[in-house]
Structure 1
Amino acid sequence: MGFLHVFIFALIFVPSFTINADESLNLNEEVLGLIVFKSSITDPSSHLSSWNQDDQTPCSWKFITCNPVTSRVTELTLDGLNLSGKIGKGLEKLRNLKVLSLANNHFTGHINPELSLLTNLEHLNLSRNGFSDRIPGSLTNSGTIKFLDLSQNFISGPVPEELFTNCLSLRSLSLSSNNLEGPIPHSLSNCTTLNHLNLSSNSFSGNPDFTSGIWTLTRIRTLDLSRNSFTGSIPNGVFALHDLKELSLEGNHFSGALPSDLGLCPHLKKLDFSNNLFTETVPESLKTLSTLSYLNLATNMLTGEFPQWIGSLTSLEYLDLSRNRLTGMLPETIDVLYSLTYISVSDNNLTGNIPDGLFKLGFDRIDLSRNEFTGSIPPGSSKLFESLESLDLSGNRLIGDIPAEMGLNSKLRYLNLSWNNFQTRMPPELGYLQNLTVLDLRYGTFHGSIPGNLCDSGRIGILQLDGNSFTGSIPNEIGNCSSLYLLSMSHNNLNGSIPRSMSQLKKLKILKLEYNQLTGEIPPELGELENLLSVNISYNRLQGRLPSGGVFQTLGKSSLEGNLGICSPLLQGPCKMNVPKPLYLDPFAYRNENGRRRGDDQGDQPSKSFKHHHFLSFSVIIAIVAAVVIAIGVIVTLLLNISARRRLAFVDNALESCSSSSRSGASLSMGKIVWFDSKSDHDNYCIVNPEAFLRKANEIGSGVFGTLYKAYAGDDNNLLAIKNLVVSNMTPYHEDFIREIGVLGKLRHPNLVSLKGYYWTPKLQLLVTDYVPYGSLYTKLHERSPSCQPLSWRNRFKILLGTAKGLAYLHHSFRPPIMHHNIKPNNILLDENLTPKISDFGLTRILSKLDKHVMNNRFQSALGYVAPELACQSLRVNEKCDVYGFGVLILEIVTGRRPIEYGEDNVLILNEEVKIMLEEGNVLECVDESIGEYPEEEVLPVLKLALVCTSQIPSSRPSMAEVVQILQVIKTPVPPRMESY
């Protein structure tokens, strides 16, 4: 029955049905209100098809819950239905609504302040959408809201004070992962019944009000203020929070001492104060927290002795006190922490022996590195053997034998005992570690021979034995290390020859054997190792020819010098070989045709027969052979150049025939977001209004290839980034687009921004990628705010190495290689751990036709990063163009300066200036002063690597795989007492 019929019915039967008519009118107000609300949103999957305006009541509609007595709507739950649009009018008609949940959709615009008219509303969840602008101060005016979640949106500005003027009913509040700023409102203290408060991942600043603010919320259970910009100290007397279970202040700028009254929270289970500026000692009151299972105080400036009462925390599972300034010893009572699975106390000043009981617990990971521990390694228990996967004891003063029981650790994958003073032999039991992939024993004062069973498992990828006193020969069984890609045995006393079995290491990339007493010739079979990128055999007693293939023909002098007689034009001195020397053929020593020797008769001239039988000296033969080789090389080069010119001409013709068309006025066809990690049919769905993603308020950046927006997409509604390809009309054919993007969708690497999916219509294409929250490297280098700490050398090197690994993956894991073409700091994004993520890779595969305007824009936006051959030809040549850009990136990271800087009278080109300073011997003067202290033995070779990468000749640049290996060699472990960077 329609609304008009109900109204007529009510007029006719007013005397006897007055109450029923009123109820019918009210019920139909709810129908009309919901229909009006539906009209302002987009429902591409028709989830709301059951909502019929002719129904007398909405109680039979999907996603609606009514009171069974009054038939009034009490709950509206539309979570994860892929809805979009704005919250307009209509919902205010639901006078009895208690639960409104629109989470995990694509709603945009501001939060409608008319939601405050819902006077019975108790639960409001608008999380994981695209809401922007500010929070309406009137949102909680009703005073009935108990649960409010606005997390993971784009809400900005300060939180209004009036939001909490009437919040006596509020139990749970989450504003996390927005763009909120300013201080926490003082009015929050009015919410005296608040149990859960999450303000994490915003830009809140200032010092929280410890006397009249959040610390007066005595009923709080979980409090998360992590990853903001809070400052100041936390005074004592604020933690009388009896119900508090979880407290996270991680990633702020809090300073001063840790509050001594933390122990007054008897139910505390999680405490995370890491990555702040806290000083002084760990308060003893923590020992009363018998329920604490997670304690993280890492990366502060805490001093004093390691807490000897740590054994009182009997529920502890995770303990991280690393990167502080703690002294003293680990207590013996630590062995009562039976639930502990993770412990890290690295980078402190701890002394004494490692407690025996520590190695009787069931750890997954132990990190005691870079302290001053002495004594021997305790024997482990069967419980430890069953669980331990990573053990790092490097950078201490440990002595004695390695426990034979260590060979029983079946799960151990990472073992680092470097930089110690063991003064013992390497135990053969290490060969029993069947899952070991990394073994680092550098500078551990080991002696004796290297066990032959070390590679029995065949899983070791990194074997580093440098800086010890190993003697004897390299075991022939080294060929069993089939997974080895880094083998380093330098600075030992190894003798004998290099075993031919080393040629079986097909994955080997780095070989370091310098400073030993190796003899004989280098096995020629090593030249067949195609993956070998870096070799150093200097300062041995090697001789003879170098292997004819592979990397050996490109080795520099520093990799060869200091041997007895290696044959190389780079070295001075004799060339000694283990074969008979070629005879010197003297043409005058042969007889003439009459049988007489030349010279038997004084004054005789050479006969005609001799003139026709010349014998050439050995040096002449070499000269002729060299000339032939050079001639062949010239011919091959000419042929390659001809082929290249034909290919370039073909591409130029394609560029000339391409013209860009306008997108204005184009009608959008129905499209789909296609997820590469699709797990259900619901992951592929239509989008009627793609512009919902592309609003100015959601824009977070733009580049040559398109504009980037922040959005939520997919069934799990994670925070994602949407790139609107500005030149997308150059790929009008769906088949071409999905063929190329299918390749990019398969790329998975920790240093690449993952491509999650795409949206396609003939006139609009969107790329869906991971959202990286901490901005670009460019911002960290050149637009850093005064409150943001500069990047340390350790973090800069981490960014360099990670970026190199990402590019190497693109270049070497695919045929043809995937090139980036636009390596610069703007395209290097950083996550919360400063892990670099390369963005905008592979776009030239998708945009198969690029007009000259786009190409010119690309070069204009990347001045200083573009390789000479790419700039001249206006198109790529090969992956060495990316290597050039990476070299410039190195210089920019190390110096903190842009690649091209314009003065009043000149233009400064960074790589040219660094090259001059290197030649003058003062290159370290160009290092960014904001880095602070740095290890010169790392910075100097990194700068040299940058200049090699920016060579004007592409063939002189290394590959990205070589760059990765060189960086890994440069990054040697810091000696025990060396300051952290």
Structure 2
Amino acid sequence: MALRMARRREGEMTQMCSAGGRGVGCRGLGQGSSMCCCCWNLAVGVFLLLLLLASGAAGSGMRSGNAPRISDEVMALLVFKAGVIDPNSVLSSWNDIDMDPCHWTGITCSSATGRVTDITLVGLSLSGTIARALVKLEELQTLTLANNNFTGPLNGELAEFSDLKVLNVSHNALSGSIPASFGSAGNLYALDLSNNAFTGTLPPELFSYNCQSLRIVSVSVNSLEGPIPASIGSCFEVQSLNFSYNSLSGKIPDGIWALESLLDIDLSFNLLTGQIPVGVGFLKNLTSLRLQSNNLSGGVPAELGNCGLLEHLVLNNNSLIGELPIQLGNLKSLVTFNVRDNFLSGSVPSWVVNMTFIRELNLASNGFSGQIPSFIGFLYQLSSIDLSANNFSGPVPHEMMTLQNLQYVSLSDNSLTGVIPPFLSGCGSLLSIDLSRNLFDGSFPAQIMSCSNLQHINLAENMLSSSVPEEIGFMPGLQLLDVSSNQLLGPIPSTLGNATQIRVLRLQRNNFSGPIPAELGNSTLLIELNLSENNLSGPIPLELGKLADLEMLDLSHNSFSGVIPEGLGLLTKLVVIDVSHNQLQGPIPTDGIFSQMNTTAFEQNAGLCGTAVNISCTTFPNPLIIDPNDPNAIPGTLSPLFRSKRSQTILSVSAITAISAAAAIALGVIMVTLLNMYAQTRRRSNIFTIDSDPQSPSAAEMAMGKLVMFTRRSDPKSDDWMASAHAILNKDCEIGRGGFGTVFKAILAHGETVAVKKLMVQSLVKSQGEFEKVVHMLGNVKHPNLVGLQGYYWTDQLQLLVYDYVPNGNLYSQLHERREDEPPLSWRLRFRIALGTALGLAHLHHGCVPSLIHYDVKSSNVLLDDEYEARISDYSLAKLLPKLDTYVMSSKMQSALGYMAPEFACQSLKITEKCDVYGFGVLLLELVTGRRPVEYMEDDVVILCDFVRALLDEGRALSCVDSKLLSFPEDEVLPIIKLGLICTSQVPSNRPSMAEVVQILELIRPLVESRGS
């Protein structure tokens, strides 16, 4: 009876939920809470089911004296199932009709006792929560719920299983802190909590004296912070530790190195600092040590040489210094040795030859020098070698090219000289070779064609001076060929049309001559074709219109003639085209990308016409030729052929007289029109009001300038510009000043409001041609989170940029210059601004071809529109400057201090998109703390990112949150703080890309929007 009542109650609640009704317990929940009500009712129903079943079992037991304890396990499993969403009905066998759960999906029972020992539900698309009812399974030894979508916290009561040996809930969406109670599970063998959303610290109790059975611990890919507990040294039998991809900080505890049973340590992608402890010598069984992408310093410990079984030593992306110790020569079992992106120096040590099993050798981006030793050729198992971005010099040893297992070779960015060594027949395994940016000379290495499986060939920026062999086109797997910036000559091999897998072909800045082979149209997978700055001639082949995947085409600075094929306008994926500085003629196509391109893409082609170059394609009628010797000639028709000069009369004398009279009348009309225009121009110039700046140009100078507007709604021939010009020069309309100039608000004659930036760096701005090329490129950049560039104005004395007007000022003013009576920005607005800024920067980095760097990311360059959506301004304006590095460190950019990445001050480091990521990280911390990036005290200077990082190390990160935020969600703010600190890593490669930043923020956004605050 009790069971039937419970089932009926559960069925009623489920039916009510499915009907969207509201029942008992719904009062006070408010409108729109039927789902809440249903969950409440269902929970009540399940609780009653459990209660009634328990009471029934107890009553039966009192009557019979031998209650079947298996019913407790059935109840526990059914309650667990009630909290699970099972879209594929994989748990359909779990029902109370079959009272023996040992036959249910994923359940294993003991043959001796019949009790449940294993629950294994892996990759079944299950979601919901993990019910605490499982604690009723008193003999459970294995609980594996990996690769599902479970959410909510992990209940610490699961640690009460006295026999639990394996707990694997990896690859779910569990959150909250890791329960410390699992440290008391004395029989626990494997604990895998990886790939979830756990936060907080690693509890020291997790590694208490009871952890003697623990062998495997993985908490990788979570959001854990704080130090690695020193108590880890108590788990003497542990074999594998994986704490990677978190935000753990502090030093590596010395106790780890006393764990003699350790086989595998992975602490990579954290915020660990300090030196690698020298106690490593105890780890004689260690086979894998991964410490990459941290902030570790000091040298590589010589004691590592005592780990004779070590197979994988990965220390890249840290701040390690000095030379590699000779003791590492004892690591004869090494398969992977990676110290990329550190500050190591010296030559390649001779002991490397002892690593006869090594497959990956990566010394890139350090300060190694000297010659590449020939003994590299004795590492017969080597499949990947990367020595790029060092100071190696001299020739490449021929022995390296004899390695028959070699797949990836990168020697780029060094000072290697001589000819490229021959590739022998043993290179059939080679997939990629990068020898770019060296000093190689001589011929293109013809033997390279013997590497039949080669996919990527990069020989750019050397001094190669031969032709490219025709055989290059017969490499079936070739995907990238980059021989740009050499001295190669001769024709482009027509056989490249046979390379049907090629996607990137870069031949620019060479001495290639002759036509473009029409056969290139057969390489239909091409996405980038760059033939610029050569001596190519002839027409642009119609066959290029077959390259349906083409995204970038650069034919500039050659001697091409003829017309631009209409078929290029039909390439829907084409986003960049440049045919400037040629001898092309005829109309520019208007389809596809051509309708969006600016003048710079077509400049220096005297014969081109069309809207893109503001030249009308006027069609002149053929001359009227009447043949008097043709008896069938009809007056006013064309003669079929020119017979002889004497037998043809072009026009009669009377016709010529009439035309001359008409021409004279037309000339008079034109002169009168010009005089009227001149008078009108003078009248318009009289309305200008020039400001008191003695360097301001006169109105006449402005009238002689070049105005180009990109948007169709803004007609450069209208009076809008002239009518608003006085506002540009009126200080009363000034709305901002920055490192690049002064910004004015202007209203055009038709009512549109624009922002006009008057550049203040006239002496630094490039030539007009270079200026227009950059501005036209920026005018093509469109994104909702970028301030649109509408046009520009140029004279030698004055350069103006016309932007969309954004009404709510900039983020810096909203954060730091608000009046006391103005409410502060809410957390929800701050998050939305952060996400919008990230989306805008991600578009510059990943959505533009070529990618664009902002160079000056700061809160004053983040404008806010009517809806307080972020709009980034001043992006890539530094491209207007001939010497970016000099300008960046000048007083013009002092307002960016605190936002500037360390590499700006180091000429040996490249300026990349990661500089913008650094500035964005500071901006994130600025949004959270409400503090300026740099604050000057009486006797101290506080750098924001250092200040926040110190608080995080002390476990007090939330104490830095803006005091004006009276309430804020810790589970949203804390990840933002950590993201800001990761973005401001001193090592550029440790910073995420803006695309990754957007992904992280998108994961947080549902929480923000659901709370609505």
- TM-score norm. by structure 1 comes to 0.57
1:522 paired with 2:566, answer: no
The structure-2 alpha-carbon separation of the partners of 1:245 and 1:38, relative to structure 1 and needing over 3 Å to count, comes to same
Tell me the residue number matched to 1:183.
Answer: 227
- Pick from 507, 510, 518: which aligns with 1:468? 510
* Structure 1 residue aligned with 2:244: 200
Counterparts of residues 66-465 of structure 1 (less than 5 Å):
66-165=109-208, 166-210=210-254, 213-360=255-402, 361-385=404-428, 387-457=429-499, 459-465=501-507
- What letter corresponds to residue 181 of structure 1 in structure 2? E
1:535 Cα deviation from its structure 2 partner: 5.5
Which residue of structure 2 lines up, in the alignment, with residue 655 of structure 1?
none
Aligned 8 A contact 2:520 2:544 in 1: no
- Matches of 1:178 and 1:110, distance apart in 2: 13
Whole-Å Cα distance in 1 between the matches of residues 69 and 557 of structure 2? 92
- Letter of the aligned partner of 2:904 in structure 1? E
For the residues of structure 2 that align with 1:342 and 1:916, how far apart are their CA atoms? 38
2:78 & 2:912 partners in 1: Cα distance?
A: 66
Structure-2 change in CA distance of 1:353 and 1:580 (3 Å): farther
The structural deviation recorded for 1:399 is 1.9
Deviation string 1:438-475 (CA, Å, 9 cap, x unpaired) is 32222222244444444343554443333334455666
CA deviation profile, 1:875-927 (whole Å, cap 9, x unmatched):
xxxxxxx999989x968664434555589xxx999748998997999996469
Cα RMSD for the two superposed structures: 5.3
Give distance in 1, aligned partners of 2:103 and 2:607. Answer: 93
Query: Any conservation in 2 of the 1:475–1:499 contact (CA below 8 Å)?
Result: no
**Is the 1:479–1:502 Cα contact (8 Å) retained in structure 2?**
yes
Post-superposition Cα deviations, 1:536-594, rounded to whole Å, max 9, x if no partner, equal 55556x47656566678987665666678878999999x9x9x99989xxxxxxxxxxx
- Give the match's secondary structure for 1:162: helix
- Counterpart CA distance in 1 for 2:79 and 2:557 is 82
52-61 vs 354-363, which moves further: 52-61
Cα deviation, residue 393, structure 1: 0.8
Deviations 1:88-143 (A, max 9, x none): 44444433332233333444433333233322222222333333322222223142
Deviation at 1:7, TM superposition (A): 3.0
Other structure's SS at 2:401 match: helix
> Counterparts of 1:511 and 1:50 in 2: how far apart (Å)?
60
1-side partners of 2:319 and 2:152: how far apart? 38
Higher relative contact order (CA closer than 8 Å, sequence separation 6+): 1
Kept in 2: contact 1:252–1:275 (CA 8 A): yes
Out of 4, 7, 14, the position equivalent to 2:61 is 7
Q: Is the 8 A contact 2:222 2:246 kept in 1?
A: yes
Cα separation, partners in 2 of 1:236 and 1:30, compared to 1, 3 Å: same
Check the 8 A contact 2:852/2:876 in 1, yes or no. Answer: no
Structure-2 change in CA distance of 1:620 and 1:565 (3 Å): farther
Give the letter for the 1:896 counterpart: K
Contact persistence 1:823–1:886 (CA under 8 A): no
| Greater per-residue helix proportion | 2
Alpha-carbon separation, structure 1, partners of 2:340 and 2:180: 38
Q: What are the residue-to-residue correspondences of 1:694-843 with 2, within 5 Å?
A: 822-823=784-785
Tell me how far apart the structure 1 counterparts of residues 350 and 119 of structure 2 sit (CA, whole Å). Answer: 54
Mark the CA change 1:525 to 1:201 in structure 2 (over 3 Å): closer, same or farther: closer
Secondary structure at the counterpart of residue 357 of structure 1: helix
Q: Which residue of 1 aligns with 2:904?
A: 933
Following TM superposition, by how much is the alpha carbon of 1:192 offset from its aligned partner in structure 2, in angstroms?
0.4
Distance 1:571 1:618, change over 3 A: farther
Task: Determine helix, strand or coil for the equivalent of 2:272.
Answer: strand
Aligned AA (2:338):
N
Aligned counterpart for 1:896 among listed residues 825, 847, 858: 858
Cα distance in 2 for partners of 1:102, 1:570 equals 61
Distance 1:429 1:86 in 2: 62
Higher mean C-alpha deviation, range 365-374 or range 528-537: 528-537
SS in 2 for 1:115: helix
Q: Matched residues in 2 for 1:78 and 1:821: separation?
A: 44
Residue identity matched to 1:246:
S
Query: Could you list the per-position Cα deviations for residues 672-720 of structure 1 after superposition, in whole angstroms to 9, with x for gaps in the alignment?
Result: xxxxxxxxxxxxxxxxxxxxxxxxxxxxxxxxxxxxxxxxxxxxxxxxx
Shift, 1:184, TM fit: 1.0
Displacement of 1:394 in angstroms is: 0.7
Deviation at 1:309, TM superposition (A): 2.8
Where does residue 719 of structure 2 map in the other structure?
none
- 3-state SS in 2 of match to 1:138: helix
Residue 238 of structure 1 aligns to a residue whose secondary structure is helix
TM alignment of 1:857-876, pairs within 5 A: none
Q: Separation in 2 of the partners of 1:377 and 1:46?
A: 62
Native 8 Å contact 2:305 2:329 kept in 1: yes
Change (3 A) 1:372 1:53: same
| Cα pair distance change 1:824/1:177, threshold 3 Å | farther
Change (3 A) 1:74 1:432: closer
State the distance in 2 between where 1:205 and 1:412 align: 43
Aligned residue pairs: how many? Answer: 662
Shift of 1:173: 1.0
Question: 1:206 deviation in Å?
Answer: 0.6
Secondary structure of the residue aligned to 1:309 is: helix
Q: In 2 relative to 1, CA 315–824 (structure 1 residues): closer, same or farther, beyond 3 Å?
A: farther
Equivalences for residues 526-565 of structure 1 within 5 A: 530-531=570-571, 536=578, 542=583, 545=586
Q: CA offsets, 1:644-691, max 9 Å, x none?
A: xxxxxxxxxxxxxxxxxxxxxxxxxxxxxxxxxxxxxxxxxxxxxxxx
Q: Compared with structure 1, are the counterparts of its residues 320 and 886 closer, same or farther at alpha carbon in structure 2 (3 Å cutoff)?
A: closer
Counterpart code for 1:224:
D
**Which letter maps to 1:522?**
G
Distance 2:86 2:605 in 1: 76
Structure 2 gap ranges (5+): 1-52, 625-652, 674-711, 714-776, 788-827, 837-842, 917-992, 994-1013
User: CA separation in 2, counterparts of 1:268 and 1:481?
Assistant: 46
List per-residue Cα deviations over 1:774-812 (Å, max 9, x = no partner): xxxxxxxxxxxxxxxxxxxxxxxxxxxxxx99x99xxxx
Paired with 1:194 and 1:908, the residues of 2 have a C-alpha distance of 49
The alignment's TM-score, normalised by the length of structure 2, stands at: 0.56
Q: Relative to 1, partners in 2 of residues 1:8 and 1:276: Cα closer, same or farther, differing over 3 Å?
A: same
Determine helix, strand or coil for the equivalent of 1:254. strand
Deviations along 1:223-244, one digit per CA (max 9) or x if unpaired, are: 1111111111113232421121
- Rounded Cα–Cα distance in structure 1 between residues aligned with 2:469 and 2:185: 73
Is the Cα contact below 8 Å between 2:252 and 2:272 reproduced in 1? yes
Q: Could you tell me how far 1:149 is from its partner in structure 2?
A: 1.6
How high is the sequence identity, in percent, across the aligned residues? 33
